[in-house]
Amino acid sequence: MPEFIETHRLVIGLSSIVVLGIGAQWLAWRLRAPSILLLLICGFLAGNVPLFGDFRLIDSDALFGDVLTPLVSISVALILFEGGLTLRFSELHEAGTVVRRLCSVGALVTWIGATGAAHWLIGLSLTLSVLFGAVLVVTGPTVIGPLLQHVRPSGATGPILKWEGIVIDPIGALLAVLVFEFISASGGESEFLHTVWAIFATLVFGGSLGMIGAWLLALLLRRYWIPDFLQASVALMLAIAVFTLSNLIQEESGLLAVTLMGLVLANQRWTDVRHIVEFKENLRVLLISSLFILLAARIRFADFHGLSGSVIAFVLVLILLVRPLSVWAATVGTRLTWRERLFLAWMAPRGIVAAAVSSVFALELEHRGLQEAEQLVPLTFAVIIATVSIYGLTAAPLARWLNLTSPNPQGVLLVGAHAWARKLAEVLKNKKFRVLLVDSNRQNTHAARMAGLDTYHGNVLSEAAMHDLDLGGLGRLLALTPNDAVNALAAQRFLHAFGRKEVYRLPAPEKKKLESSPMGGHGRVAFAPTATFGALQTLFASGATIKATPLTEEFNYDAFQERYHQHAVPMFVITKTNRLLIVTAADAVQPQPGHTLIAAVPVDVAREADAASARPDDAGIHPAPA
Least Cα distance to 53 among 107, 2, 94 occurs for 2
Residue 473 backbone zone (phi > 0: left; psi -120 to 50: alpha; other: beta): left
For residue 246, give the H/E element and its range.
Answer: helix 231-249
Beta bridge partners of residue 548, listed in sequence order: 598
Cα–Cα distance, 254 to 306 (Å, whole number): 33
Cα–Cα distance, 609 to 623 (Å, whole number): 8
Give all strands of the β-sheet with 524-525 in edge-to-edge order.
454-457, 435-439, 411-415, 474-479, 503-505, 524-525
Cα–Cα distance, 565 to 503 (Å, whole number): 30
**Which CATH fold would you assign to the domain 542-626?**
Alpha-Beta Plaits (3.30.70)
Q: Is the dihedral of CA 84, 72, 275, 143 positive or negative?
A: negative
- pLDDT at res. 616: 42
Q: What number of other Cβ atoms are within 10 A of residue 458's Cβ? A: 16
How many Cα atoms sit within 13 Å of 221 on the Cβ side? 25
**Which CATH fold would you assign to the domain 408-523?**
Rossmann fold (3.40.50)
Torsion of CA 196, 202, 205, 211, to 10 degrees: -130
Q: What's the one-letter identity of residue 223?
A: R
What stretches of 368-455 show up as alpha helix (H) in DSSP? 376-401, 419-430, 442-450
Q: Is the CB of residue 373 less than 8 Å from the CB of residue 129?
A: no
Reported residue count of the chain is 626
Alpha-carbon radius of gyration of the chain:
28
Q: Are strands 545-550 and 596-601 parallel, antiparallel or unpaired?
A: antiparallel
- pLDDT at res. 120: 93
* pLDDT tens, position by position, 301-336: 766 665 667 888 999 999 999 999 999 999 988 888
- pLDDT at res. 624: 41
Please identify every stretch of the chain with a pLDDT value under 70, giving residue numbers as ranges: 1-7, 32, 53, 86-95, 140-142, 145-146, 149, 170, 181, 184-195, 198, 274-275, 277-282, 302-308, 406-407, 463-464, 467, 510-521, 588, 604-626
Least Cα distance to 255 among 339, 363, 201, 177 occurs for 177
**Domain ranges for the chain:** 3-401, 408-523, 542-626
**What is the value of pTM for the model shown?**
0.69
Name, in order, each residue with C-beta under 8 angstroms of 604's C-beta and a sequence gap of 6 or more. none
Domain 3-401 top-level CATH class: mainly alpha
- pLDDT at res. 606: 58
- pLDDT at res. 510: 66
Q: Is the CB of residue 385 less than 8 Å from the CB of residue 320?
A: no
| Extended beta strands in 304-427, E state | 411-415
Cα–Cα distance, 587 to 525 (Å, whole number): 10
Cα–Cα distance, 535 to 233 (Å, whole number): 43
The DSSP result for 67-106, as a single string, is GHHHHHHHHHHHHHHHHHHT--HHHHHHH-HHHHHHTTHH
